Protein backbone atom coordinates (compact mmCIF):
# COMPACT_ATOMS: atom_id res chain seq x y z
CA UNK A 1 0.00 0.00 0.00
CA UNK A 2 1.29 3.41 -0.99
CA UNK A 3 1.71 5.53 2.18
CA UNK A 4 0.35 8.67 0.49
CA UNK A 5 -2.80 6.78 -0.52
CA UNK A 6 -3.17 5.49 3.01
CA UNK A 7 -2.82 8.96 4.55
CA UNK A 8 -5.31 10.37 2.04
CA UNK A 9 -7.78 7.59 2.76
CA UNK A 10 -7.48 8.02 6.54
CA UNK A 11 -7.83 11.78 6.19
CA UNK A 12 -10.83 11.57 3.85
CA UNK A 13 -12.62 9.37 6.38
CA UNK A 14 -12.04 11.96 9.09
CA UNK A 15 -9.83 9.68 11.15
CA UNK A 16 -7.27 11.61 13.17
CA UNK A 17 -7.89 14.92 11.45
CA UNK A 18 -7.49 16.76 14.75
CA UNK A 19 -4.38 14.79 15.74
CA UNK A 20 -0.91 16.19 15.08
CA UNK A 21 0.58 12.71 14.69
CA UNK A 22 -1.34 12.09 11.45
CA UNK A 23 -0.09 15.26 9.81
CA UNK A 24 3.48 14.95 11.08
CA UNK A 25 3.83 11.38 9.78
CA UNK A 26 2.23 12.36 6.46
CA UNK A 27 4.44 15.42 6.03
CA UNK A 28 7.58 13.53 7.05
CA UNK A 29 6.81 10.99 4.35
CA UNK A 30 6.89 13.81 1.79
CA UNK A 31 10.00 15.38 3.34
CA UNK A 32 11.94 12.12 3.10
CA UNK A 33 11.28 12.14 -0.64
CA UNK A 34 12.28 15.77 -1.07
CA UNK A 35 8.69 16.85 -1.69
CA UNK A 36 8.85 19.93 0.51
CA UNK A 37 5.90 21.77 -1.06
CA UNK A 38 3.62 18.82 -0.38
CA UNK A 39 4.91 18.56 3.20
CA UNK A 40 4.26 22.27 3.64
CA UNK A 41 0.69 21.80 2.38
CA UNK A 42 0.11 19.00 4.90
CA UNK A 43 1.31 21.22 7.77
CA UNK A 44 -0.92 24.02 6.52
CA UNK A 45 -3.88 21.61 6.56
CA UNK A 46 -2.96 20.59 10.12
CA UNK A 47 -3.03 24.22 11.20
CA UNK A 48 -6.34 24.83 9.41
CA UNK A 49 -7.88 21.82 11.15
CA UNK A 50 -6.44 22.88 14.52
CA UNK A 51 -4.63 19.59 15.05
CA UNK A 52 -3.47 18.92 18.61
CA UNK A 53 -1.07 19.32 20.14
CA UNK A 54 -0.57 22.52 18.17
CA UNK A 55 2.94 22.89 19.58
CA UNK A 56 3.97 19.66 17.81
CA UNK A 57 2.60 20.84 14.49
CA UNK A 58 4.26 24.24 14.82
CA UNK A 59 7.59 22.72 15.88
CA UNK A 60 7.69 20.32 12.92
CA UNK A 61 6.47 23.00 10.53
CA UNK A 62 9.24 25.33 11.69
CA UNK A 63 11.82 22.58 11.15
CA UNK A 64 10.78 22.04 7.54
CA UNK A 65 10.63 25.80 6.95
CA UNK A 66 14.25 26.11 8.07
CA UNK A 67 15.27 23.17 5.83
CA UNK A 68 13.53 24.63 2.80
CA UNK A 69 14.99 28.08 3.41
CA UNK A 70 18.45 26.51 3.72
CA UNK A 71 17.97 24.68 0.42
CA UNK A 72 16.83 27.84 -1.31
CA UNK A 73 19.76 29.91 -0.10
CA UNK A 74 22.57 27.37 -0.52
CA UNK A 75 24.56 27.40 -3.77
CA UNK A 76 23.61 24.65 -6.21
CA UNK A 77 26.06 21.79 -6.67
CA UNK A 78 28.56 23.39 -4.33
CA UNK A 79 29.29 26.19 -6.76
CA UNK A 80 29.85 29.61 -5.35
CA UNK A 81 27.79 32.17 -7.21
Burial zone of 81 (CB within 10 Å; 0-12 exposed, 13-18 middle, 19+ buried): exposed
Q: Does domain 3-68 have CATH number 3.40.50.2300?
A: no
**Predicted confidence (pLDDT) per residue in 6-36, tens digit:** 999 999 999 999 999 999 999 999 999 999 9
Q: Are 54 and 31 in contact (CB under 8 A)?
A: no
pTM of the full structure: 0.81
pLDDT digits (tens, 9 = 90+) for 39-74: 999 999 999 999 999 999 999 999 988 888 887 787
Report how far residue 19's alpha carbon sits from residue 52's, in angstroms, rounded to the nearest whole number.
Answer: 5
Amino acid sequence: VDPVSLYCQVFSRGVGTRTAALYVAWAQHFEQRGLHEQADAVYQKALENQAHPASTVLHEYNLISVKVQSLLTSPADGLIT
